[in-house]
Structure 1
Amino acid sequence: MIARFIARRAATLTVTLLIASVVIYGALFLSPGDPATLLAGGGKEPSPGLLAEIHRQYHLDDPFLESYWRWLTGMLHGDAGQSLSYQDSVTNLLAARVGNTLFLIAYAALLIVTLGVTLGAVAALRGRWVDTVVTMVSTTLMAVPVFVMSVLLTWGLAVRLDWFPAYGTGSGFPDRLEHLTLPALALAASWLAYVAQVSRSAIRAELASEHVQTARGRGIAERFVVRKHILRNAAAPIASVSGVAVAGLIAGSSIVEQAFGINGVGALLIQSAAKQDLAVVQALALLTVVAFALINTAVDLLTAALDHRVSLEGSQ
């Protein structure tokens, strides 16, 4: 059953990524503007002969299916093409920046899972004023956009209090951890609040369930009821929403990297889009879709493993 479930998800994932690659390449292939003007240089109108040579050299005039197949097979072999604006291979550009982005996303994901689940559990189990405070704070955080949170954290914790640096990535693990604390907080804030609310709701639902009332009526110690009956059964929805939150960090990282001057993949995507550097934008867009799809697939597998009430045969 598990093997069939994994095989079905793998087939679905493959088809999804293939369709996404066609959409990504096709949308940018049809986008207005001529990337060849980037290589012509200067503000003067480039000559038609120069543009034609650039088109020939970079295969910009090839038919769609031919250029798409060349791009896709190159991506599968680790060759994402050549950047027109940076005059370097896309693979080299990504290799120099992906470490910063992965560190940032991992840091933010750790904050989301640990703080979000903890706050939600405390609010549900303690109740009263703790529940009220957590609900108010999480509701406020969910309403604040990422770029606004970036500005607020920079002004409050970097400029006013001088607790953290506001720019760059640092060097070495301790220095990098210090530099990326504010970006990670800005990136994680709204998702952290969302996970806290879902965790609170899932645990409160288990608190009111019949099997928990039965366990308490049998005189089972409260700590065992909480661990074995409440938290265990609430783990599946919490894991599911945490996975969605971590996948959502991929999109938000672009804004945070720009705001805090982080030399990462997200900032590279924004800069390349502004310069009409199609090779870089196409590669990053496809890699984003791949990462998002892989995380969602892993979350589905984890949810099915945590909650045996989820049917593997019926999962889509």
Structure 2
Amino acid sequence: MSLRFVAARAGMLVVTVLVSSLAIYGAMFLTPGDPATLLVGGSRDPDPAVLAQIHREYHLDDPFVQGYWHWLSNCFQGDFGKSLVYRDSVADLIDARAGDTLALVAYAAVLVLTVGIVLGTVSALRGGRTDALVTTVTAGAMAVPTFVMAVLLIWLFAVQLPWFPVYGSGEGFTGTLSHLTLPAVALAMTWIGYVAQVTRTAVRAELGAEHVETARSRGVPEWAVIRRHVLHNALGPVFAVSGVGIAGLFATAAVAEQAFGTGGLGALMIEAAAKQDMAVVQAVSLIFVVVFVVLNTTVDLVSAALDPRTAQKGAVR
């Protein structure tokens, strides 16, 4: 993996974050009228003193670029401002909710990796009816949106079969695990389908590779052929799609959090948007963008390390 490839990916990360943050900050100014009125709930007759305070606090009287840079630099120092709706520091609000989102995404990521890779591997190795069944199920999982899956899971496992709670994030390890099972499954289901399909394709491609046939002709045990030659060489594309999937879990976590009332960052952003609490919306949006871009860049770098041809193609482009 060349330094040029690493520098290119790092540059793309910085540019993506800057452009996204500019769009997040500038969205407030696209609304007609004084952006400060959004921060007081769009009141028709806001207190001029309150508006003046908001202008000073958010630097709305500054030139756009200067105000944007002041906001962005404060954000990267951990100062996201103050929520006028919740009457609390935005950083404290995020700190109180971040754990729920991380727990949900971690649970969903474990499901994506374990279930997706196992299903894809079994499908490729066994073939026949097993392959057809797994392909059909995973294709169906990919087609069902998260909010639809959430409704189906609630109906089946909370109404018809009252096995799991459907609201809140629980307390303690056992309680948290029980409360997050359904939202984690709803969140992970689409990416389980993607990972299973990519794993199946990668494993089947390696099964017909020349080096696998050579290993078999030398009398290497089948289990060793599968582990050392097939699964090891199929790791690259599987890791790539898994990494993108885990990054995608952060992007769609808000749907599962809202459906099951787990109270994470996604739910906080939706609640803040409904109340026009722009300071919270901007901060959470920026965090999601940074996490998503960093994870995708990390996946690119690790994929290039696993398969140098990826780095060579990226350097050529």
Name the TM tier (shorter chain): over 0.9
Structure 1 residues 286, 181: CA separation in 2 closer, same or farther (over 3 Å shift)? same
Q: How far, CA to CA, are the matches of 2:21 and 2:287 in structure 1?
A: 10
* Aligned twin of 1:268: 268
* Aligned twin of 1:294: 294
Unaligned runs of 5+ in 2: none
Q: Which AA in structure 2 matches 1:262? A: T
Count matched residues. Answer: 316
Q: 2:215 aligned with 1:215, yes or no? A: yes
Secondary structure of 1:162's counterpart equals coil
* Aligned twin of 1:150: 150
Q: Which AA in structure 1 matches 2:305? A: A
Secondary structure of 2:88's counterpart equals coil
What is the RMSD computed on CA atoms of the aligned residues?
Answer: 2.2
Q: How far, CA to CA, are the matches of 2:44 and 2:15 in structure 1?
A: 45
Structure 1 residues 41, 280: CA separation in 2 closer, same or farther (over 3 Å shift)? closer
CA drift of 1:100 comes to 0.1
Secondary structure of 1:310's counterpart equals helix
Q: Which AA in structure 2 matches 1:229? A: H
* Aligned twin of 1:200: 200
CA contact (8 A) 1:146 1:187 kept: yes
CA drift of 1:108 comes to 0.2
**Deviations, residues 167-215 of structure 1 (Å, cap 9, x unaligned):** 0001111110110000000000011011101100111111122222222
For residues 1-150 of structure 1, what are the structure 2 equivalents within 5 Å?
Answer: 3-32=3-32, 36-37=36-37, 45-46=45-46, 50-150=50-150
* Aligned twin of 1:278: 278
Q: How far, CA to CA, are the matches of 1:56 and 1:27 in structure 2?
A: 19
CA drift of 1:286 comes to 1.3
CA drift of 1:14 comes to 1.9
Structure 1 residues 32, 192: CA separation in 2 closer, same or farther (over 3 Å shift)? farther
TM-score, normalised relative to structure 2 = 0.92
**Mean Cα deviation higher: 138-147 or 215-224:** 215-224
Q: How far, CA to CA, are the matches of 1:164 and 1:139 in structure 2?
A: 26
**Mean Cα deviation higher: 303-312 or 157-166:** 303-312
Q: Which AA in structure 1 matches 2:187? A: L
CA drift of 1:285 comes to 1.4
For residues 245-260 of structure 1, what are the structure 2 equivalents within 5 Å?
Answer: 245-260=245-260
Secondary structure of 1:180's counterpart equals helix
CA drift of 1:2 comes to 5.0
Structure 1 residues 283, 40: CA separation in 2 closer, same or farther (over 3 Å shift)? closer
**Mean Cα deviation higher: 35-44 or 175-184:** 35-44
Structure 1 residues 96, 34: CA separation in 2 closer, same or farther (over 3 Å shift)? farther
* Aligned twin of 1:191: 191
TM-score, normalised relative to structure 1 = 0.92
Secondary structure of 1:45's counterpart equals coil
CA drift of 1:234 comes to 0.6
Secondary structure of 1:311's counterpart equals helix
* Aligned twin of 1:176: 176
CA drift of 1:70 comes to 1.2
Unaligned runs of 5+ in 1: none
CA contact (8 A) 1:236 1:306 kept: yes
Q: How far, CA to CA, are the matches of 1:247 and 1:41 in structure 2?
A: 32
Structure 1 residues 278, 39: CA separation in 2 closer, same or farther (over 3 Å shift)? closer
Q: Which AA in structure 2 matches 1:186? A: A
Q: How far, CA to CA, are the matches of 2:24 and 2:35 in structure 1?
A: 16
CA contact (8 A) 1:233 1:307 kept: no
Kindly, what percent of the aligned residue pairs are identical?
A: 58
